[in-house]
Amino acid sequence: MARPRKPLLSTERIVATAAALVDAEGVEAVSTRRLAAELGVSGPSLYNHFRTKDEILEAVADAVSARIDLSMFAEDDPRDWRTALHDWAVSYRAALADHPQVVPLLARGPGRRPAGLRVADAVFGAMVRAGWPPAQATSIGALMRYFVTGSALGSFARGFVDDEAAYDPADYPHLGQAHLLAERQRKVDEGAFETGLAALLDGLAVRYAAQVSQGSGDASGRGTETGAGGMGAGAAGTEAGGTGA
Amino acid sequence: MARPRKPLLSTERIVATAAALVDAEGVEAVSTRRLAAELGVSGPSLYNHFRTKDEILEAVADAVSARIDLSMFAEDDPRDWRTALHDWAVSYRAALADHPQVVPLLARGPGRRPAGLRVADAVFGAMVRAGWPPAQATSIGALMRYFVTGSALGSFARGFVDDEAAYDPADYPHLGQAHLLAERQRKVDEGAFETGLAALLDGLAVRYAAQVSQGSGDASGRGTETGAGGMGAGAAGTEAGGTGA
DNA sequence: ACCTGAACACCGTTCAAGT
DNA sequence: ACCTGAACACCGTTCAAGT
């Protein structure tokens, strides 16, 4: 059966199966042959739908980014910029926490993931509407992303997975304690995330206040450059697309 | 020549050569055979000094962590906690910027890198001495690490390397513009880092002030638990070692 | 103890061949 | 257009053999 009249594969099915494999066994478990077998197909078939294996993994990462809630940045959403950023960060972290095995894929850099660009665009637009100067709005999107992805990396990227493996219940009967340690670490990470997020938003609020008192930072926004953040001017549209999630 | 009377290899030489290879061509260029060839030796020889290839890469990552300046956390250093954190973050980022190809290795999680643990310990000790409650001191070390590693990831982990490759100077003669774009992105990332770092420290300063006014947060420190951060109590020593860089 | 070559069970990707 | 098997040039790691 060389070519079936109905295609056996689709990009969606490939990505979904790859994502499930990553979630279940980690990025390293994904080989073209293994993935193809899971799809009931031979290895080279994948190359009719993707140019490289890396492209498949990029699509898996993008699918996770696509699950980040962005409703707080909608024009008609009542949340103020600070609450919106907070809720977004929490949703962002939750999306990564749901797929810890995907986090290492983020380490390959922003890449060209479309969902990442959509995120950057949404944040940028909402911040500008709230009265932030464009250059500052760009910075805010980036620095929030830094913090959230960094926390995901530090918290659940292969960290406690290794730990659980290290505590072999065979010769270590107090497996309750291993659970306790993992739970404890989780609490530490969560506390650090919450403290850091609150501090970050407090710090931004200080800068925002300095801005409005000095410039003309009303809600119609987009206008006068204030000196407060000092990144120089920049065109709005291109600024937002600079880096993806 | 089965066994030379003087060993051809040493863990140091292996790590140094691996690090040079990573810096020059990236993590993906490191194969045991390639690395061994670079060392003038056959592939399996490496297994006399390391148990797996991953262990070698961990050592490379640890060598970078070891280059982070920690002098600001020394007991006799005059810098206050806020300045110390700032200078540390800048030095931390600089260490990663010097070895952008190493950044993806951090994505494998904190692991058991000794240099990372030393860093965590230094931050913790200095924060406690400055008057932060132990639980908060732990959070601060973690959240600062989140931000710095996240920024390294977002800024120079294979981001613009790909970009430069995309602009093939053969059919794109305005290579000056490609440089301009890369330079522009670098400025955006730097601005986001500086803004975020300042905001983070401002936010922590607010919490610190709330702490001393409410509890007894003098420089002798270590004492009374305040309710401000709310992570519950925890033994000092074990808290610090929780997560590495 | 420390190196070697041979071998095992894999890889990602290309390509001619089939329909 | 979309799948196949065969093939190429690799992998990480193990192991018996040498000194």
pLDDT, one tens digit per residue, over A175-200 is 556 677 778 888 999 999 999 999 99
Residues 168-197 of A with CB under 7 A from strand D: none
Phi-psi region of A232 (alpha: psi -120 to 50; beta: other; left: phi over 0): left
Strand D at less than 7 A from CB of A45: yes
pLDDT band per the 50, 70, 90 thresholds, residue A107:
confident
At A192 the pLDDT is: 97
Which chain A residue lies closest to B26 (C-alpha atoms)? Answer: A108
Within 11-70 of A, beta carbons closer than 8 Å to B belong to none
- Give the gap in angstroms from C-alpha A195 to the nearest C-alpha of chain B: 7
How much is the average pLDDT of B68-95? 98
- Among all protein residues, pick the one whose CA is nearest to the C1' atom of C15: A44
How much is the average pLDDT of A126-130? 97
At B49 the pLDDT is: 98
Average pLDDT over chain B, rounded to an integer: 82
How much is the average pLDDT of A105-133? 89
Protein residues contacting strand C, judged by Cβ under 7 Å = A 2-3, 30-34, 43-44, 47, 51-54; B 1-4, 7-9, 36, 41-45, 48-49
How much is the average pLDDT of A38-43? 97
At B221 the pLDDT is: 37
How much is the average pLDDT of A66-94? 97
Here the tokens at position A208 are: 């925002």
Here the tokens at position B119 are: 């860093």
Evaluate if residue A1 carries a pLDDT over 60: no
The bases of strand D with some atom under 7 A from any protein CB are 1-7, 10-19
Distance CA(A65)–CA(A188), nearest Å, equals: 25
pLDDT band per the 50, 70, 90 thresholds, residue A229:
very low
**Nucleotide minimizing C1' to CA distance for residue A47:** C13
Q: Which chain A residues are Cβ-neighbours of B204 within 8 angstroms?
A: 199
Q: Which chain A residues are Cβ-neighbours of B226 within 8 angstroms?
A: none
Evaluate if residue A37 carries a pLDDT over 90: yes
At B56 the pLDDT is: 98
Contact B107 A153 (CB under 8 A): yes
Phi-psi region of A4 (alpha: psi -120 to 50; beta: other; left: phi over 0): beta
At A184 the pLDDT is: 85
* Residue of B143, B149, B196 with shortest CB distance to A192: B143
Number of helices (H) and strands (E) in chain B: give both, helices first: 10, 0
Strand D at less than 7 A from CB of A7: yes
Distance CA(A229)–CA(A207), nearest Å, equals: 8
Evaluate if residue A220 carries a pLDDT over 70: no
Distance CA(A141)–CA(B97), nearest Å, equals: 21
Cα torsion at A68, A69, A70, A76 (round to 10°)? 170
If you search the block for the tokens 């059919």, which residue do you land on? B171
Evaluate if residue A45 carries a pLDDT over 50: yes
Provide CB contacts within 8 A for B47, sequence distance 6+: none
* Entry pTM: 0.84
Evaluate if residue A121 carries a pLDDT over 50: yes
* Residue of A153, A185, A202 with shortest CB distance to B150: A153
Within 70-129 of A, beta carbons closer than 8 Å to B belong to 103-104, 106-111
How much is the average pLDDT of A29-38? 98
Half-sphere exposure of B210 (CA within 13 A, CB side): 13
Evaluate if residue B80 carries a pLDDT over 70: yes
Distance CA(B71)–CA(B168), nearest Å, equals: 44
Evaluate if residue B105 carries a pLDDT over 60: yes
Evaluate if residue B220 carries a pLDDT over 90: no
pLDDT, one tens digit per residue, over B146-203 is 999 999 998 886 544 444 444 444 444 455 566 777 788 889 999 999 999 999 999 9
More confident of the two residues A2 and B185: B185
Contact A193 B104 (CB under 8 A): no
If you search the block for the tokens 């710090």, which residue do you land on? A203
pLDDT band per the 50, 70, 90 thresholds, residue A243:
very low
pLDDT band per the 50, 70, 90 thresholds, residue A230:
very low
At A212 the pLDDT is: 75
* Residue of A204, A231, A243 with shortest CB distance to B154: A243
Q: A209 and chain B: CB distance < 8 Å anywhere?
A: no
At B113 the pLDDT is: 81
At B176 the pLDDT is: 57
Least confident of A35-49, A77-91, B35-49, B172-186: B172-186
More confident of the two residues A203 and B236: A203
Here the tokens at position A184 are: 């404890």
**Which of A143, A148, A190 to mutate against chain B (most B CBs within 10 Å)?**
A143
* Residue of B107, B135, B199 with shortest CB distance to A203: B199
At B36 the pLDDT is: 98
Strand D at less than 7 A from CB of A11: no
Evaluate if residue A222 carries a pLDDT over 50: no
Contact B159 A109 (CB under 8 A): yes
Strand D at less than 7 A from CB of A28: no
